[in-house]
Amino acid sequence: MRKHVAGAIGALASAAALAISTVGAASATAAPSASGGKTLVIDNSFQLVTADPGHMFEPSGELVDNGLYDTLVTFQGSDLKTVVPDLATSWTSLENSKKYIFHLNPKARFSDGTPVTSADVVWSLDRMVNLKGNPSFLLAGEKIVAQGPETVVMTSALPNPALPYILPNPATGVLNSKLVKAHGGTDAANASTKDTAENWLNNHSAGSGPYVLSSFSTTTQVVMKANPNYWGAKPAYSTVDLRNVQAPVQGLDVERGANEIAVDLSPAQTKSLSGVQIKRAPSPNVFFLFTNNDPTISTVTSNPWFQKAVRAAINYKSLVALAGTGSVQTPGVVPTVFLGALPSSADSKTSVSVAKADLAKSGLKNPSVALTYPTDVQVNGINFGDLAARVQQDLQQVGITVTLQPQSVQVALQTYRGGKEAMGLWEWGPDFPDPSDYLVFGPGHLVGLRAGWTTADAPGLATLAQKAADTTGTAARQSVFQAFQQQLNQRGPFMPLIQTAQVVVATKSVKNVQGNGLWLVDLRNLG
Amino acid sequence: MTCGTLANLAVINTSLRGRARRVTPAGLGRFLGRRIGIGLVLMVGITLVAFVLTHLVPGNPAAANLGQRALGDPAIVKAFNHEYGLDKPVVDQYVIYLGKLLHGNLGISEQSHRAVVTDLAEYVPATIELALFAIVISLVLGVGLGILAAVRRGKLVDGVIRVISLLGVSMPTFWVALLAFYLFFFRLGWFPSGGRLGPAVTPPGNITGLYTVDALLHGDWSLFASALDHLVLPGLVLGIYTVGTMVRFTRASVLEVINNDYVRAARVKGLSEWTVIRRHVVRPALLGIATVSGVAFGSLLSGTVLVENIFGWPGIGQYAYNSAINLDLPAIMGVSMVVAFIYIVVNLLVDILYSILDPRIELR
């Protein structure tokens, strides 16, 4: 009898297990296939807060808003050096880059069919500035006015040659002002407290881009449908589903063909993939080391010969190898994909003997220093800890003892931003693809001060930084920014290390796949 | 949560010599009133502890949530601190928080820019759905296999089940999750890789927030299939530890009583073996199983962080993790409150279940 009971229980338990597996197998078969057809699924490890362009300043948000909103000008494919028309068919720079005139394309239409006017542009950009959010600094100090329905004039007190490179940022996306006003939007000076449109813009879109927002979640997925009234070339996919997926899983998703594109894999994570297309290129994300120039923080790291010794001791090739195929040594703080970057011939050279000689000149005996870095963030799949361990090893070879001091990013940010770290390993991602974004590394500027480097420490370089900010004309800017970085490498407390690789993996069914340093993948030109 | 801990939250009088008593409505009312009162005090205490602890963490919410450039603009930092009430003294912030809490307002999340209540309404049901699925699987498989192992003690079946249960409790959940993902998604293709629904599938209208239940309530079978399809693998992975625990606990409980005199007497009376097992062997073990289930449900809630991350399940685990690393104080407070509330409710239900399973236990 007991056997019967045991048999019955066993059968029940087995049946339950079988039922579960059967449901899984059966429903998996019935689940809609996303491959091919009109739906494109993109895997992304979300850094997403909002779809409202006025508040948005995160990589995933840029991808979403690039699909939903047009900007005055934009970039095409992966090229971040050439500004191309979007809403503006042409533009003119006047008065030494203090004034810009943009002429709008009269064909441009919002998704509800109404024309995009200069009033919409002015309202959208003023709103973005007055919301006092993360992207507000992009156009701070710009006076934006409409001259007729199809002309926008932007003026600033100081030359702003970077403006054409700032405006492609999807945060400057143009909204249907009437529609957004009706849902609580305002461009008034007190918009930071009076504008209530963000929630609405997280459920609806009000732009003129190739897609409209269908659903939005900051943790699950963002679904965009083709804009039926799009005024440009019809997008290849009728639906784009951006899904929040951890990086290691993304490769398996695409390799199996469950999803079409993965944007967060590191070069190492792509090694085992097969049957997919892999696009690797240097990203604009720059890892750098700094030694605090303030003697009150460290008498060791502020020693100029110590700084030179560190620069010569680092094995840059080893760091590039660690970061994987597609990454490169960065010769200066401006990444190689931007105007003003130094040529690779200017790369810092590794030399243990030079490093030892410089250390001897410093007068320091067996110096020891703590290296602080964040542990809970990755950039293009690269851990700060792995790079820090290599730096520790390199410096050990020349007689510098490095104590690794890993910290949670929020704790490390406190000391970094407060200028309290003796030696730090950090990364700078571009706010906009223009070399002027890297003047923050100058003495007395944002990042310079974090390294204890004041204007008084290097007045000549401070003057050169100001000259770089004011210089206009592509060739002249190229030259002055290169000069700035050369001096930064010689005299500054910064050691630019590597640019990580930006990797985009896609199934072979997707055509014209191109990564983009701002919005991860060029959605508009996919075939 | 152990029986000892439960005793701190409830007054349970177990009188083994006393006559079986029914739970009267008045008695139940007094019991509930007392427990709800204690629960409210606990909740307020939890707000205080969570508030103090989150403010002790070194870090600055503005620095955590604003970009590098924005942080350099005092006007933007001022606007941020004003918006989230961070420009007020800490004590004032707490008093304001409690005042808003009385109106069901948990503040605005610094990460999502939405009301924390709205966020929680989205993420909590997802985790509850996952944890409920895991606990049901654990009960069905764990209790069934535990009884089977006890009944067939010393036989091959018992050995196999014990090995399986040992594996269940000893394998790290994240490893099981990765293994299951690789095998059942990547190799076999039986289950989808992650998320709660297939690509571009619109969620059902929100009734309970549990997609499988809501899809059924809407009569949408294809949506139900998609929701269940996405639920099974993370649910099984999450439940596998509890299955192991449940098997071991049930087997031990059944073995304790299976050779007692009253069980032999029941057999001698001519009752079928199934009836003997059901009435005289399993029933005494149910109290312990209820306790383990309560404990398991709580640990499932806290154990979802890794599973949710690997399977892209948008639950409270991911929300809590993101809130913590971004120093999103209102969200951290909200998560603390919800988890505490669920623990209190689960313990209350387990205590009530005791009196139903064993009439000798009086609720008062």
Please indicate, yes or no, whether residues A497 and A512 belong to a single structural domain of this protein: no
Whether B274 sits inside 8 A of A4 (CB atoms) is yes
Q: Any CB–CB contact under 8 A between A62 and chain B? A: no
Quote the domain boundaries for residue A68: 8-268+508-525
Q: List strand residue ranges (DSSP E) for A65-175, in order.
A: 73-74, 84-85, 88-94, 99-104, 142-146, 151-156
pLDDT at A410: 76
B23: pLDDT confidence band, cut at 50, 70 and 90?
low
Q: A290-306: b or e for each residue (b if 16 or more CB lie within 10 Å)?
A: bbbbbeebbebbbbbeb
CA distance A61 to A209: 14
B299: pLDDT confidence band, cut at 50, 70 and 90?
confident
CA distance B136 to B144: 12
Asked whether residue A1 is assigned to any structural domain, the reply reads no
| H or E element that contains B119 | helix B116-137
Encode pLDDT of A37-71 as tens digits: 589 999 998 888 899 999 999 899 999 999 999 99
Which of A20, A56, A269 would best serve as a mutation to test chain B binding (most B beta carbons within 10 A)?
A: A20
Please indicate, yes or no, whether residues A466 and A521 belong to a single structural domain of this protein: no
Please indicate, yes or no, whether residues A222 and A331 belong to a single structural domain of this protein: no
Q: What is the pTM of this model?
A: 0.82
Please report residues of A whose CB lies closer than 8 A to that of B322. 219
Please report residues of A whose CB lies closer than 8 A to that of B190. 21, 24-25, 28
Nearest one of A309, A523, A289 to A421, comparing CA atoms: A289
Whether B193 sits inside 8 A of A258 (CB atoms) is yes
Give SS3 for A407: strand
Q: Check whether B272 has a pLDDT greater than 90.
A: no
Q: How many CB pairs under 8 A join A and B?
A: 210
Please indicate, yes or no, whether residues A40 and A126 belong to a single structural domain of this protein: yes
| Size of chain B, expressed as the number of residues it contains | 364
Q: How close does chain A come to B265, measured CA to CA in Å?
A: 16
Whether A219 sits inside 8 A of B232 (CB atoms) is no
Whether A411 sits inside 8 A of B58 (CB atoms) is yes
Q: How close does chain B come to A195, measured CA to CA in Å?
A: 12
Please indicate, yes or no, whether residues A319 and A421 belong to a single structural domain of this protein: yes
B364: pLDDT confidence band, cut at 50, 70 and 90?
low
Whether A246 sits inside 8 A of B144 (CB atoms) is no
Residue of B nearest to A440 (CA): B69
Q: How close does chain A come to B237, measured CA to CA in Å?
A: 12
Residue B197, Ramachandran bin (φ over 0: left; ψ between -120 and 50: alpha; else beta): beta
Q: Please return the burial class of A224, using the count of CB atoms within 10 Å of its CB with bins 0-12, 13-18 and 19+.
A: buried
B256: pLDDT confidence band, cut at 50, 70 and 90?
confident
Residue of A nearest to B153 (CA): A6
| Distance (Å) of CA B265 to CA A1, B17, B51, B259, B282 | 16, 21, 59, 10, 16
Q: Any CB–CB contact under 8 A between A8 and chain B? A: yes
Encode pLDDT of A179-222 as tens digits: 999 999 999 999 999 999 999 999 999 999 999 999 998 888 89
Whether A413 sits inside 8 A of B59 (CB atoms) is yes
Give SS3 for A212: strand
Q: What is the token pair recorded at B25?
A: 């409505």
Please report residues of A whose CB lies closer than 8 A to that of B148. 6, 9-10, 13
Please report residues of B whose CB lies closer than 8 A to that of A32. 198-201, 226
| H or E element that contains A305 | helix A304-313
Write the residue in A28, A39, A219 that is nearest to B189 by C-beta: A28
Residue of B nearest to A132 (CA): B76
Whether A28 sits inside 8 A of B191 (CB atoms) is yes
Please indicate, yes or no, whether residues A254 and A335 belong to a single structural domain of this protein: no
CA distance A340 to A72: 23
Rg over CA atoms, chain A: 26
A426: pLDDT confidence band, cut at 50, 70 and 90?
very high
User: How many domains does chain A contain in total?
Assistant: 2
| CATH code for position A301 | 3.10.105.10
Q: Check whether A278 has a pLDDT greater than 90.
A: yes
Encode pLDDT of A436-476 as tens digits: 999 999 999 999 999 999 999 999 999 999 999 999 998 99
Q: Any CB–CB contact under 8 A between A393 and chain B? A: no
Asked whether residue A339 is assigned to any structural domain, the reply reads yes
CA distance A105 to A333: 37
Whether A410 sits inside 8 A of B63 (CB atoms) is yes
Determine contact, residues A198/A52, Cβ cutoff 8 Å: yes
Q: What is the mean pLDDT of chain B?
A: 84
Q: Check whether A26 has a pLDDT greater than 80.
A: no
Determine contact, residues A67/A224, Cβ cutoff 8 Å: yes
Whether A252 sits inside 8 A of B185 (CB atoms) is yes
B22: pLDDT confidence band, cut at 50, 70 and 90?
low
Asked whether residue A244 is assigned to any structural domain, the reply reads yes
Nearest one of A506, A520, A258 to B312, comparing CA atoms: A258
Asked whether residue A273 is assigned to any structural domain, the reply reads no
Handedness of CA A130, A133, A138, A141 (dihedral sign): positive
Give Cα A259 distance to the centre of its chain: 23
In sequence order, which ranges of A31-117 are alpha helices (DSSP H)? 59-68
Write the residue in A9, A215, A411 that is nearest to B59 by C-beta: A411
**What letter does residue B211 receive in the DSSP assignment?**
H
Q: Check whether B332 has a pLDDT greater than 80.
A: yes
Give SS3 for A516: strand
Q: Please return the burial class of A343, using the count of CB atoms within 10 Å of its CB with bins 0-12, 13-18 and 19+.
A: exposed
| Distance (Å) of CA A111 to CA A207, A523, B14 | 6, 18, 69
Please indicate, yes or no, whether residues A484 and A513 belong to a single structural domain of this protein: no
CA distance A472 to A347: 26
| H or E element that contains A304 | helix A304-313
Please indicate, yes or no, whether residues A362 and A475 belong to a single structural domain of this protein: yes
Encode pLDDT of B146-184 as tens digits: 999 988 888 999 999 999 999 888 888 888 998 999 999
| H or E element that contains B150 | helix B144-151
Please indicate, yes or no, whether residues A362 and A314 belong to a single structural domain of this protein: yes
pLDDT at B21: 53
Other CB atoms within 10 A of residue B205 CB:
10
CA distance A520 to A44: 9
**What letter does residue A298 receive in the DSSP assignment?**
-
Please report residues of A whose CB lies closer than 8 A to that of B202. 214-215, 223
Give mean pLDDT, residues B210-233.
Answer: 94
Nearest one of B203, B177, B178, B181 to B192, comparing CA atoms: B181
| H or E element that contains A282 | strand A276-291
Write the residue in A136, A249, A410 that is nearest to B70 by C-beta: A136
A384: pLDDT confidence band, cut at 50, 70 and 90?
very high
Q: What is the token pair recorded at A445?
A: 């500027």
Please indicate, yes or no, whether residues A35 and A14 belong to a single structural domain of this protein: yes
Encode pLDDT of A324-374 as tens digits: 999 999 999 999 999 999 999 999 999 999 999 999 999 999 999 999 999
Please report residues of A whose CB lies closer than 8 A to that of B82. 193
Please indicate, yes or no, whether residues A294 and A169 belong to a single structural domain of this protein: no
Please report residues of B whose CB lies closer than 8 A to that of A194. none
Residue of B nearest to A6 (CA): B148
State the CATH class of domain B119-357: mainly alpha
Determine contact, residues A314/A482, Cβ cutoff 8 Å: no
Please report residues of B whose CB lies closer than 8 A to that of A249. 181, 193-194, 310, 312
Instruction: Name beta bridge partners: A42.
Output: A242, A261
Whether A39 sits inside 8 A of B199 (CB atoms) is yes
Q: Any CB–CB contact under 8 A between A226 and chain B? A: no
Please report residues of B whose CB lies closer than 8 A to that of A376. 325
Write the residue in B57, B140, B182 that is nearest to A16 by C-beta: B140
Q: What is the token pair recorded at B55?
A: 């403010």
CA distance A45 to A57: 15
Please indicate, yes or no, whether residues A289 and A259 belong to a single structural domain of this protein: no
Q: How close does chain B come to A50, measured CA to CA in Å?
A: 7
CA atoms within 13 A on the CB side of A337: 28
Q: Any CB–CB contact under 8 A between A349 and chain B? A: no
**What letter does residue B141 receive in the DSSP assignment?**
I
